[in-house]
A and B are shown apart, each in its own frame.
Chain A
Amino acid sequence: QSVLTQPPSVSGAPGQTVTISCTGSSSNIGAIYDVQWYQISPGTAPKLIIYGNNNRPSGVPDRFSGSKSGASASLAITGLRAEDEADYYCQSYDATLSGYVVFGGGTKLTVL
């Protein structure tokens, strides 16, 4: 069971907007720690698409955006495209025990 909670799946038609939620607690997202998002397409390495809650690495389209509020975060993808079909994972840091990196369980995005 993952420390961060994500919906198992979301879907949307091309051109639409989808959001993926990531819920944590007061020891991770709800504390001072940032949220990151990664995209994993079949057969490819994980790709960082959002860091520091709402920052995009160079080369990531501005169709991808992130936000954080309280102990939750969201990834929004606007203007859905077929190539966006992938698994998406949120990630943060948890301060319990000696502190460690934590991930969500992942969300499968299907472009209809």
Chain B
Amino acid sequence: QVQLQESGPGLVKPAETLSLTCTVSGDSITSHYWGWIRQSPGKGLEWIANIYYSGTTNYNPSLKSRVTISADASKNQVSLKLRSVTAADTAVYYCAREKNNGYGEFYDFWGQGTLVSVSS
């Protein structure tokens, strides 16, 4: 069974960098694309970025200037960095396994999510 576990600080100060790691078990990150999605309190889901282990990446245009996604196949991990955070970046951050049937991406396995609060 595929399992994903997000980890990272639960509290980040404004203007600093949010850093999260997703550790995958039960599957190799070399077999699929992997994505990060977030849900701000009281709001809907927002796609952040995706990556293939070889380095191919895609970003949400609204976040692209502040986001870096990376992958470490040796550790079977995918990571996310979000720079210059504000309170608007407070959210539950999910990592998920991505599939594509030729008509767009979708996510079939998700982590439990990790809440990151931005506050001084």
| A89 contact set on B, CB distance < 8 A | 44-45
| A64 contact set on B, CB distance < 8 A | none
Say yes or no: is B90 at the interface (Cβ < 8 Å to chain A). Answer: no
Q: Please report the C-alpha to C-alpha distance between residue A44 and residue B35 in the assembled complex, in whole angstroms.
A: 18
Q: Please report the C-alpha to C-alpha distance between residue A71 and residue B94 in the assembled complex, in whole angstroms.
A: 28
Are A52 and B108 CB-contacts (below 8 A) given A101-B47, A102-B47, A103-B44? no
Say yes or no: is B16 at the interface (Cβ < 8 Å to chain A). Answer: no
Are A46 and B47 CB-contacts (below 8 A) given A34-B104, A98-B58? no
| A45 contact set on B, CB distance < 8 A | 94, 110-113
Which A residues between 63 and 90 are near B, CB-CB below 8 angstroms? 89
Chain B residues within 8 Å of chain A by Cβ, number: 26
Main SS of the interface on chain B? strand
Could you say which interface size class chain A belongs to? 20 to 34
Report whether B103 and A47 are in contact in the complex, using a CB–CB cutoff of 8 Å: no
Report whether A48 and B44 are in contact in the complex, using a CB–CB cutoff of 8 Å: no
Q: Mark A33-67, 1 if CB is under 8 A from B, else 0.
A: 11010100000111110011000010000000000
Nearest chain B CB to A105 CB, angstrom units: 4
Closest A residue, CB atoms, query B59: A100
Chain A residues with a Cβ under 8 A of chain B: 2, 32-34, 36, 38, 44-48, 51-52, 57, 89, 91-93, 97-106
Chain B residues with a Cβ under 8 A of chain A: 35, 37, 43-47, 50, 58-61, 94, 96, 99, 101, 103-108, 110-113
